Amino acid sequence: MVLEFRLKSSFALCVLAVCVATGCVLLARQVLFNFIVFSLSDLRSPVSTGALETATGYFPKSARLNARLAEAAISDPVRDLGLASREIDRATKLSPNDYRLQVVLASVEESKQDLMGAEKALREAAALAPSNIDVRWRLANLLLRAGKISDSLVEFRTAVSGEQSLMPITLDLLWRVTGGDLSSLQAVTPANSASSMALACFLLKQGRAGDAARIFEGIDRGSRVAATSSSEFINRLISIGELGQARRLWIDTASSSSDSAEHGATALLVWNGGFESDPIPGLAQFEWNLSDSNYVAIGLDRGTAHQGSRSLRVEFMGKDTTRLDGEIKQRLVLEAGRHYRVEYYVKTRSLVTSEGPRVALGWEGDPGWVPAGPAISAGTEDWRKMEFEFVAPIKGDMAPSSNLTGGLRKNIRGRAATIGGEGARAGWQSWGEPIPVTVKLIRIPKYSYDDPMRGTIWFDDFTINEIGRE
């Protein structure tokens, strides 16, 4: 539909022209007003206090300009708190429902050392914008500065719940203010896995391994498995010498309910000895680590097993002077000075070798400590049990350096009998402490050349058990 107006008199045309001109002037004034106000109130634009005072003289009813002038007055090297108070008072009266003006009012009140007034303004801002994280964060910090720690914890938790990235700085701040009070740190931690993980990692960095471990353990297993920080947490435990905690938490994380039923208590010594469990990506600290080399191809065999459904298959590539040292290995945590027995099952097919490989253990503290089982014989043979015994190494000058033999057993008894003297106590200071060792498959050629090695070996059902305390 089209409406047409026919103006036949010159007076009507003049009236119309005046109306149009007036509308254009008013529109232009509004555009200019908006441009000036938005430009001067933009915090990203540096504007002097004098320029803002001039602008508010022209536009005295702009709440945003008044608030910006109040902010400028308290941020200048020479503060004018009187001007700031007048301007923010005017701004809040012009726009009482704008939470941002209440935030500025809080800054002005705090500049005047009126913490109660600042708290009142921020609580008003929080009431106007209850989901605004910045307001909650400001209120939490103000309450903390005012010594109202309990009240601040509520606001910190609200802020962190809305913005996870605030978690580290919140924990660090409260750690320093409360002297490491765990209940305060837990009070600001939201009830979700990511926040609990952040708290556990923070406590570990502060040297509170026991508290960190308890919090980590309280996170549901699925979240621990999915979190990349789980691996970092366990690695840090290992690096600071908390081997027992690291191993226990790793097993708790890696174990499903079926794993727990299968492995039972023996999982604390050797994990997945029957090769029935699949490795978890990113959690390799105490898992079997398998890697092919020029001499062997290593993999799981789902059709051959001593028990269960899988075993470890090692295919030799027919290369001369075959050398193995770490292609198959697992990190263990044992107790120093304890007596253990390793048991495992071996099957061979068409194995050709001048000297078969051995299952052995190693310890970084003493390269000469390499207790090992018997060499695997050439030929074809069905599953048979192999075993050997050893004493876990002891830090210091009393570490045994070979398999447990009669002479070594006697030597250990003799040394243990002297415990009680000062020298003996110094030597045995690490007795019974967790110590990292590695179980692995080795073959170190005796000569610079030996004949090519061929055939296949299967391994299954590894166990390690403590059999006595010498």
> Are 247 and 158 within one domain?
yes
pLDDT of 50 > 90? The answer is no
> Are 112 and 209 within one domain?
yes
pLDDT at 87: 82
Write out pLDDT tens, residues 418-430: 333 333 333 444 6
> Are 251 and 295 within one domain?
no
Q: Is residue 282 part of a domain?
A: no
Q: How far apart are CA 166 and CA 148, in angstroms?
A: 20
Task: Give me the residues paired with residue 458 across strands.
Answer: 313, 347
pLDDT at 408: 39
**DSSP string for 141-195:** HHHHHTT-HHHHHHHHHHHHHH-GGGHHHHHHHHHHHHTS-HHHHHHTS-SSHHH
Q: Is residue 33 part of a domain?
A: no
Do 118 and 142 meet the contact criterion of CB atoms below 8 Å apart?
Answer: yes
Q: Is residue 25 part of a domain?
A: no
Please identify, among 210, 241, 258, the residue that sits at the C-terminal boundary of a domain. Answer: 258
Confidence bin at 65 (pLDDT 50/70/90) = confident
For the chain, percent of residues with pLDDT exceeding 70: 76
pLDDT at 80: 83
Q: Is residue 152 part of a domain?
A: yes
Find the farthest-apart pair of alpha carbons in the chain and give their distance in angstroms, rounded. 130
Regarding beta strands 311-317 and 324-335, do their DSSP bridges make them parallel or antiparallel, or are they unpaired? Answer: unpaired
pLDDT at 1: 58
Q: How far apart are CA 229 and CA 277, in angstroms?
A: 22
SS3 17: helix
pLDDT at 68: 77
pLDDT at 415: 37
Write out pLDDT tens, residues 114-128: 999 999 999 999 999
Write out pLDDT tens, residues 169-195: 999 999 999 999 999 999 999 999 999
> Are 251 and 302 within one domain?
no
Domains identified in the chain, total number: 2
Q: What is the mean pLDDT of residues 272-284?
A: 92
pLDDT at 398: 46
For 442, phi then psi, to 5°, come to -130, 150
pLDDT of 399 > 80? The answer is no
pLDDT at 358: 97
> Are 295 and 443 within one domain?
yes
Positive or negative, the CA dihedral 213, 216, 217, 221 is: negative
pLDDT at 72: 74
- Domain containing residue 361: CATH number: 2.60.120.260
Torsion of CA 421, 425, 427, 433, to 10 degrees: 150
SS3 346: strand
pLDDT of 36 > 90? The answer is no
- Quote the domain boundaries for residue 339: 289-468
pLDDT at 126: 96
Considering only residues 238 and 404, tell me which one the structure prediction assigns the higher pLDDT.
238
Lowest mean pLDDT among 246-255, 335-344, 387-396, 411-420: 411-420
Confidence bin at 22 (pLDDT 50/70/90) = low
> Are 206 and 321 within one domain?
no
Do 456 and 315 meet the contact criterion of CB atoms below 8 Å apart?
Answer: yes
> Are 222 and 306 within one domain?
no
Q: Is residue 84 part of a domain?
A: yes
> Are 235 and 306 within one domain?
no
Please identify, among 217, 239, 258, the residue that sits at the C-terminal boundary of a domain. Answer: 258
> Are 82 and 137 within one domain?
yes
Q: Is residue 435 part of a domain?
A: yes
Considering only residues 132 and 261, tell me which one the structure prediction assigns the higher pLDDT.
132
pLDDT at 428: 40
Please identify, among 258, 279, 310, the residue that sits at the C-terminal boundary of a domain. Answer: 258
Lowest mean pLDDT among 10-19, 227-236, 390-399, 428-437: 10-19
Q: Is residue 325 part of a domain?
A: yes
Q: In what order do the strands lie in the sheet with 454-468?
A: 296-301, 311-317, 454-468, 339-352, 379-391
Confidence bin at 409 (pLDDT 50/70/90) = very low
Confidence bin at 404 (pLDDT 50/70/90) = very low
Write out pLDDT tens, residues 143-174: 999 999 999 999 999 999 999 999 999 999 99
pLDDT at 416: 36
- Domain containing residue 237: CATH number: 1.25.40.10
Among candidate residues 341, 394, 340, the one with its CA nearest the CA of residue 365: 394
Q: How far apart are CA 244 and CA 334, in angstroms?
A: 9
Q: Checking phi first, is residue 301 left (phi over 0); if not, alpha (psi -120 to 50) or beta?
A: beta
Task: Give me the residues paired with residue 438 across strands.
Answer: 331, 362
pLDDT of 43 > 60? The answer is no
> Are 225 and 340 within one domain?
no
Q: Is residue 46 part of a domain?
A: no
Q: What is the mean pLDDT of residues 352-378?
A: 94
For the chain, percent of residues with pLDDT exceeding 90: 64
> Are 423 and 295 within one domain?
yes
pLDDT of 470 > 80? The answer is no
pLDDT of 6 > 70? The answer is no
> Are 123 and 237 within one domain?
yes
Do 185 and 171 meet the contact criterion of CB atoms below 8 Å apart?
Answer: yes
pLDDT of 401 > 50? The answer is no
Q: How far apart are CA 119 and CA 155, in angstroms?
A: 12
Q: How far apart are CA 160 and CA 164, in angstroms?
A: 5
